[in-house]
Amino acid sequence: MRAIVFEAPGQLAVSEVLDPTPGPKDVVIEVAGVGICGTDIHVFEGHYGGTEFPIIPGHEATGTVVAVGAEVTRLGVGDRVAVDPTLSCGECDYCVNGRYNLCLHWNSMGVTRDNGASAQFLRAPARNTYRLPPEVDLYQASMIEPLSCAMRAFDVLPRRLGEHYLIYGAGTMGLLLAQLAPRAGAATVCVVDPNQSRHELAREVGVETVAASADDLDRDKWDVVIDASGVVAAIEDGLPRVKPGGTFQQFGVSPAEARATYSPISIVRDEVSMVGSAASLNTLGRAVEMFAAGAIRSIPMISHAFALADYAEAMDMFRRGVGGKLQIRPNAAESIELSSVARR
Ligand SMILES: [Zn+2]
Ligand SMILES: [Zn+2]
């Protein structure tokens, strides 16, 4: 099969590799779509930490089951599925206590070890796959994996109905969080992103208030402030905007060496909660339900679909911040533009 292989940090090849075969508890999936995200760029550059090269990247995948292992009973050939890329050990203290996303031996397909989905076929443990209802579009459904991470944020966020939310970052994750917030009880949602080219897409997916800076907004304190950018300047801007008694959530991924400063006394005096959210935990199945229920407007968000041969171009476009969500379609012959909203 044809696959993208990161041979070593910074080295990409479009290669012919052996077709995967399923182990007893695995399925093999013909990949339809796989989203590109910042994690793939970190993996490519060798900055993710823990990546075993060579590796086929891609962890936001959907496709159709084409082979099943001898012990797989829950799925069959022809089933359309979304894939949870998380590989947890099941045996460490965190796994035993149900905190698989904190597993001491945490891995992710296409990120740390085991091949990912930027290939015509993907082998995955059957227990990592979730059947899609017939009304769900298989290409659009590659938003389900990032959606499952956004849903984790709400699982750990202390919240009440009727609160006001401020979200930093109008990238894919910021816009998923912004679309979920009203369903989680938000009265209003504001999104801030200095990259004004993203503002129209934010409005297109239903965000009423979008601004380049929180200084431009009517309100000056919010019950819930979520950083979905990982940018230190955004984090330092957002923390003091949390209402007394409110919550700051760190969702965006910063470089390991990043440090943000804040006023400890204001956290004490204002009883501000600070909450982290890492990857997903038992959210992928519910993300399928939310996606099927139309909770997310994915159509304007996915701006381009790339054939494997154009993977390097897709990474370059991602780095330049052009377009919306970029998708690879490993079995497509050519690349196409899908939605121009993100580029206007
Ligand atoms: Zn991702
Ligand atoms: Zn574990």
Tell whether the model's pLDDT for residue 343 goes beyond 80. Answer: no
The CA 115 to ligand 2 mean position distance, Å, reads 20
The CA 297 to ligand 2 mean position distance, Å, reads 34
How sure is the predictor about 216, in pLDDT bands with cuts at 50, 70 and 90? very high
Predicted pLDDT of residue 68:
98
| 3-state SS, residue 17 | coil
The CA 86 to ligand 2 mean position distance, Å, reads 11
Task: Show the tokens assigned to 155.
Answer: 């699982």
Residue 187 CB partners (closer than 8 Å, separation 6+): 161, 162, 163, 164
Average pLDDT over residues 69-73: 98
- Residue 163 has, within 13 A of its CA and on its CB side, a CA count of 24
> Homologous superfamily of 2-148+281-343 in CATH?
Medium-chain alcohol dehydrogenases, catalytic domain (3.90.180.10)
Average pLDDT over residues 97-109: 96
The CA 312 to ligand 2 mean position distance, Å, reads 34
Residue entry with tokens 């996303």: 101
The CA 279 to ligand 2 mean position distance, Å, reads 14
The CA 93 to ligand 1 mean position distance, Å, reads 26
| Helix H or strand E segment including 166 | strand 163-168
The CA 96 to ligand 2 mean position distance, Å, reads 7
Tell whether the model's pLDDT for residue 253 goes beyond 60. Answer: yes
Mean pLDDT of the chain: 96
The CA 41 to ligand 1 mean position distance, Å, reads 10
Average pLDDT over residues 189-206: 96
Ligand nearest, relative to CA of residue 38: 1
Torsion from C-alpha of 235, 99, 296, 247, nearest 10 degrees: -30
* Domain limits, CATH 3.90.180.10, in the chain: 2-148+281-343
Fold of 157-276: Rossmann fold (3.40.50)
| 3-state SS, residue 58 | coil
How sure is the predictor about 208, in pLDDT bands with cuts at 50, 70 and 90? very high
The CA 30 to ligand 1 mean position distance, Å, reads 19
The CA 24 to ligand 1 mean position distance, Å, reads 27
Ligand nearest, relative to CA of residue 99: 2
Average pLDDT over residues 49-71: 96
The CA 243 to ligand 1 mean position distance, Å, reads 31
Torsion from C-alpha of 215, 216, 219, 224, nearest 10 degrees: -70
Ligand nearest, relative to CA of residue 253: 1
Kindly report, residue by residue over 32-41, the tens digit of the pLDDT. Answer: 999 999 999 9
Ligand nearest, relative to CA of residue 98: 2
Tell whether the model's pLDDT for residue 342 goes beyond 70. Answer: no
Predicted pLDDT of residue 279:
93
The CA 154 to ligand 1 mean position distance, Å, reads 18
How sure is the predictor about 313, in pLDDT bands with cuts at 50, 70 and 90? very high
* Domain limits, CATH 3.40.50.720, in the chain: 157-276
Residues by chain with Cβ below 5 Å of ion ligand 2:
88-89, 92, 95, 103
Determine what percent of the chain is predicted with pLDDT higher than 70.
Answer: 99
